[in-house]
Amino acid sequence: MKTVRFMPGEHDASLDNGKAYQEFFGKTHYTFDHKGVHFIALDNVSDPGASIGEEQLAWLAGDLKQLAPDQRIVVMTHRPLFDLYPQWDWATKDGDKAMALLMPYPNVTVFYGHIHQENHHTTGHIAHHSAKSLIFPLPAPGSQPKRTPLAWNPAEPYKGLGFREIGAKKTELAVTEFPVQKG
């Protein structure tokens, strides 16, 4: 049987600081290990101000201290941990503090969502990846005045939609992006 894990988006947790989410799905931040990789789910949505918060940052620091210096780490967040486009809420206010805690570890990859599009960014040696959405695409950062979904075009109904597959190699992750298409 497969293990399924969940983490909240801002629509799941920001109105009540994650209380209802936790009743149904459990913790909003947690860790687990799988096949030699340490996974960390960070909650940067339960705080409506788009912060991780000092308590969770202290928890992260304590978790990281237990790891070997060369541990492979995958971090999952909803919002990006870097300032992609803060004007559109595409940032985490204290994401730099989380990044400072992760920076000493040479084998870290961050996966995030929230922006409904493929984006790849590097902070030092840490790669950040987001995937396209399956619900609706959003515009490129700053390409229009407001962050509104791209208009649906019946001639290209799947344009901008997609998903991702992640495979583990010995020393790195293989990230493959797939478009949504009919058939």
Domain of residue 117, CATH code = 3.60.21.10
**Residue 5, domain member (yes or no):** no
For the whole prediction, is pTM greater than 0.85? yes
Would you say residue 147 has pLDDT above 80? Answer: yes
Residue 3 lies in a domain: no
Is 1 inside any structural domain?
A: no
Instruction: Give the tens place of pLDDT for each residue, 107-138.
Output: 999 999 999 999 999 999 999 999 999 999 99
> What is the pLDDT at residue 2?
86
pLDDT in the model for residue 40? 98
Please report whether residue 44 resides in a domain.
yes
pLDDT of residue 49: 93
Residue 39 belongs to a domain:
yes
- Residue 84 in domain: yes
| Strand 37-41, strand 30-34: pairing | antiparallel
What is the per-residue pLDDT for 168? 75
Query: Is 2 within the bounds of a domain?
Result: no
Tell whether 166 is covered by a domain. Answer: yes
Q: Which domain covers residue 170, as residue numbers?
A: 10-179
Give the count of domains, the chain: 1
